[in-house]
Amino acid sequence: MGYAAIGLAILGFAVGAAFRFYALLPIIGLTLVSSVAFSFHGGFTFLETGLTIIVAQSILQGFYVLGLVARAAFDRTNANDPASGPPHPPPRR
């Protein structure tokens, strides 16, 4: 269970750092389906199934937001760097 939480955290951070909101929607759906399947396979009660879904979604979305913050901070620090801008044409001779 701990490895699944770490995997969700890494997935959420990577999606937040690389993509926008529309990439998160299918991943949320897949997380919901996999959480329900995991709960049925584990023989969880209705309450345990609900808590499993809530915890999985919270981890995924929380680290998605951290990924967005990290990307915004990275973009902001590289905004004044001339090497991160568009390529310049070679000088004329």
> 16-49 pLDDT, tens per residue?
888 877 888 888 899 999 999 999 999 999 999 9
Q: What is the pLDDT of residue 79?
A: 58
Q: Does some domain include residue 41?
A: yes
pLDDT value at 51 more than 90: yes
User: In this predicted structure, which of 12-16, 23-27, 48-52, 85-89 has the lowest mean pLDDT?
Assistant: 85-89
pLDDT value at 55 more than 70: yes
- Domain containing 12 equals 2-75
What is d(CA 59, CA 13) in angstroms, rounded to the nearest whole number?
A: 10
Q: Does some domain include residue 84?
A: no
Q: Does some domain include residue 67?
A: yes
Structure-token pair, residue 4: 């699944």
Q: Does some domain include residue 83?
A: no
Q: What is the mean pLDDT of residues 84-90?
A: 63
Q: How many domains does the chain have?
A: 1
